[in-house]
Amino acid sequence: MLNIDDSVLVIIDVQDRLVSASKYGEEVAQNTAKLANTTRILNIPTIVTEQYPQGLGATVVNVKNALSDTITTIEKTSFSAFIEPNFKNEIERLKDLGKKQIVICGIETHICVLQTAADLISEGFEVYVVKDACASRNKKEYKTGLELLQQYGAKITCVEIALFEWLKTAKHPNFKEIQTLIK
């Protein structure tokens, strides 16, 4: 189960052109913003990547607005963010701080989310894929990506499960604030 002290959120390529290319892109952006708001409120480290932003645009505004001001966005051209030195260095720094759970979401499920998650699993992290904050342009590729992720050892979850696992109890001091995100 997810734990605030062990978690890191990784948002993969929730960018203008990728969101508009996916049938469920807007829903994914909204759900990603819920996750980002929650990690900001609970002080859970978050890493954001952008695949070739010169061509695919920046992270969508509603996600950007939900993030903490201290978030660094890592530009990439590799499909697995783990190949990018800045991403790998940040992950290693967080691992040294005792973070062992990676909650991952983004676009495209069957490419960048899949390859990044697979590399993180091979590095010994518990990886939780938030399926309602992931998308692909094609439904079959999305489903196949999730199936492969599960075969590789990722846990498949959704936004509300993640939020309530982090909170653990309705007595958590931030419960009402986070509850408003899903109403």
Give the catalytic positions in this structure: 13, 76, 112
Q: CA quadruple 81, 85, 91, 95: dihedral positive or negative?
A: positive
Structure tokens at 166: 């982090």
Length of the chain: 183
- Omega of the bond leading into 108 within 30 degrees of 0 (cis): yes
Amino acid at the residue 120:
L
Amino acid at the residue 124:
G
Q: Please give the Cα distance from 166 to 24 (Å, whole number).
A: 25
Q: Please give the Cα distance from 50 to 24 (Å, whole number).
A: 19
Query: Between vectors from CA 132 to CA 129 and to CA 134, what angle results, nearest 5°?
Result: 65
Q: Please give the Cα distance from 162 to 100 (Å, whole number).
A: 15
- Per the listing, tokens 């609970």 go with 42
